[in-house]
Amino acid sequence: MREKIIEKSNELFLNLGFKSVTMDEIASALGVSKKTIYKYFKNKTELVAAVTHHMFDAVSCGINGICDLKMNPIDEIFSIKRFVMDNLKDEKSSPQYQLQKYYPKIYASLKQKQFHVMQGCVIENLKSGIEIDLYRSDIDLEFISRIYFNGMVSIKDKDLFPLNDYSMNTLMNYYLEYHLRGICTEKGIQQLENQLKLK
């Protein structure tokens, strides 16, 4: 039952946002009483924490699977983007923004975990891109990986990028192009242009 509650809550939170969804709505969507949910989670904050960590683990696992395929580093970045978009439903409700606003402790702990996972993944991507001459050899790996993470977090700030003006998919495409044009060699730019035709 615990898994079912997490999965249904995950779906509702992604579509409607963490703040908007009530425990009553979750119970109703599951066809159970609110008391049943409280048997597994003592309050909504505890449920939100469980859902966000479940989401994080599922996305991390998928990203690791893509990285294990050892594809061309530029194709890898776009494959990860597509996977994340499929899993986060284009983030219509901007869950990260709501998490930051209403559940700052959960957000801070999640951001820390995201940073560690992304840092390793991005540095590996940069190294393999340099090896096959898609990325410039003079880039600072540590700096680029941190800037990349920071940019990824910033484009989800809906004060900066209102969802009415930009879909999350458009923002991700713009950001990846911006990131890659800054670090690619001529050969890498060609590869990027090919990917941009597919989007």
The string of DSSP letters for the chain reads -HHHHHHHHHHHHHHH-TTT--HHHHHHHHTS-HHHHHHH-SSHHHHHHHHHHHHHHHHHHHHHHHHHT---HHHHHHHHHHHHHHHTGGGTT-HHHHHHHH-HHHHHHHHHHHHHHHHHHHHHHHHHHHHTTSB-TT--HHHHHHHHHHHHHHTT-TTTS-TTT--HHHHHHHHHHHHHHHHB-HHHHHHHHHHHHH-
Identify the structural domains of the chain with CATH numbers, from first to last: 52-198 (1.10.357.10)
Question: For residue range 90-111, what is the model confidence (pLDDT) as tens digits?
Answer: 555 567 778 888 999 999 999 9
The confidence score (pLDDT) of residue 16 equals 86
The confidence score (pLDDT) of residue 189 equals 97
pTM of the model: 0.85
Question: For residue range 10-47, what is the model confidence (pLDDT) as tens digits?
Answer: 999 988 889 889 999 999 999 999 999 999 999 999 99
Distances (CA, A) of 15 to 9, 37, 142, 194: 10, 20, 35, 32
What confidence tier does 163 reach under pLDDT thresholds 50, 70, 90? confident
